[in-house]
C-alpha cells in the first residue's frame, strides 16, 4: 500500500477536529450539569433546613405561652425588687445572693447548665437592660426562658449555685464577673449588674430546644456545602473563624 494513502485529507482532519471539539464540549457540559445538580440539591436542603429551623422556633414560642401562664405571676411578684443600688459598693464585693423564694426542684451545682431561666436584669440606676418579660415596664407575659447551656456570664453561673429549681434568687454581680471592660452596658464598662432569676426545668421545652440545636447544626453544615457559601468564599466573603 502506498504511504500517501495512509495520510488523511484536509477535509477529513477538519471533520475529526470537529468531532473532538464536540466530545470535549459534551464532557464539560456533563460536568457542569453534575456540579449544578449537586449545588441545587445542597441549596434545596439548605432552604428546607431554614424552614425547619423557623418552624421549630415558632413551636417553641407557642409552647412558651403555656409556661408563661404557669410562671408569670411568680416572676411578676418580684418586679418590686428592681431598685437602684450603689455601683461602687456592688463592685467592691464578690457575688451576693439573696433567696426570695425557695424552690422544690434539684439543687444547682457548679457547672450545672442544664436548665432554663426567667430573669430580670437591671443597672445601678434601676433601668432594666434585659428581661424575659415581654415588656420591661408593663409586662403581660413571659417570653421563652433562656437556656443556661447557651453560655452565661461568670457571675450568673456562680450566683445560682446552691439554689433549687423553681426558686427565685436575687444576685448582685460585680463588673469583673459580668462583662468587664469587654462590653459597655448600663452606660459604662465594668458595670455591676443585678438579676432576679428563676430557674426551671421542663421536659418538653428541653426536647424542643434539643431539636432546635440539632437543626441548627445541620443548617450550618448545609450552608458550608451550599453554592451560597462557595460563591462567597471564592470572592473572599466566606469565613470559617469560630466565634
Q: Say what the pLDDT of residue 224 is.
A: 87
Helix (H, G, I), strand (E, B) or coil at 114: coil
Q: Say what the pLDDT of residue 172 is.
A: 98
Residue 173 clears pLDDT 70, i.e. is over it:
yes
Strand pairing of 116-122 and 96-101? unpaired
Best-predicted range by mean pLDDT (28-37, 148-157, 216-225): 148-157
Residue 15 clears pLDDT 70, i.e. is over it:
no
Q: Find where cell 438579676 sits.
A: 195
Distance CA 116, CA 130 (A): 16
Tens digit of each residue's pLDDT (9 = 90 or more) over 183-230: 999 999 999 999 999 999 999 999 999 999 999 999 999 888 877 666
Q: pTM here?
A: 0.76
CB 120 within 8 A of CB 195: yes
Residue 10 clears pLDDT 90, i.e. is over it:
no
Q: Say what the pLDDT of residue 222 is.
A: 87
Mean pLDDT, to the nearest integer, of 64-84?
Answer: 98
Q: Find where cell 465594668 sits.
A: 190
**Count H helices, E strands: the chain?**
5, 6
- Class of domain 7-224 as given by CATH: alpha beta
DSSP 52-108: HHHHHHHHHHHHHHHHHHHHHHHHHTTGGG-----HHHHHHS--EEEEEE--SSPBP
Here the cell at position 112 is: 450545672
Amino acid at each position: 500500500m502506498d504511504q500517501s494513502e495512509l495520510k488523511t485529507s484536509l477535509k477529513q482532519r477538519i471533520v475529526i477536529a470537529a468531532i473532538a471539539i464536540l466530545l470535549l464540549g459534551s464532557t464539560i457540559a456533563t460536568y457542569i450539569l453534575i456540579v449544578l445538580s449537586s449545588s441545587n440539591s445542597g441549596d434545596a436542603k439548605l432552604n428546607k433546613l431554614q424552614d425547619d429551623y423557623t418552624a421549630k422556633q415558632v413551636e417553641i414560642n407557642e409552647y412558651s405561652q403555656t409556661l408563661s401562664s404557669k410562671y408569670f405571676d411568680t416572676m411578676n411578684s418580684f418586679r418590686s425588687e428592681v431598685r437602684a443600688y450603689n455601683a461602687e459598693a456592688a463592685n467592691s464585693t464578690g457575688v451576693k445572693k439573696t433567696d426570695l423564694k425557695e424552690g422544690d426542684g434539684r439543687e444547682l451545682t457548679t457547672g450545672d447548665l442544664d436548665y432554663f431561666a426567667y430573669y430580670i436584669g437591671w443597672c445601678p440606676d434601676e433601668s432594666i437592660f434585659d428581661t424575659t418579660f415581654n415588656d420591661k415596664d408593663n409586662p403581660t407575659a413571659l417570653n421563652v426562658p433562656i437556656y443556661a447551656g447557651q453560655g452565661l456570664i461568670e457571675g450568673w453561673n456562680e450566683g445560682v449555685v446552691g439554689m433549687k429549681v423553681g426558686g427565685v434568687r436575687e444576685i448582685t454581680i460585680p463588673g469583673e464577673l459580668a462583662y468587664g471592660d469587654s462590653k459597655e452596658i448600663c452606660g459604662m464598662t465594668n458595670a455591676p449588674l443585678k438579676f432576679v432569676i428563676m430557674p426551671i426545668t421542663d421536659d418538653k421545652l428541653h426536647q424542643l430546644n434539643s431539636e432546635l440545636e440539632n437543626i441548627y447544626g445541620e443548617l450550618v453544615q448545609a450552608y458550608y456545602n451550599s453554592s451560597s457559601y462557595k460563591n462567597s468564599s471564592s470572592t473572599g466573603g466566606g469565613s470559617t473563624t469560630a466565634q
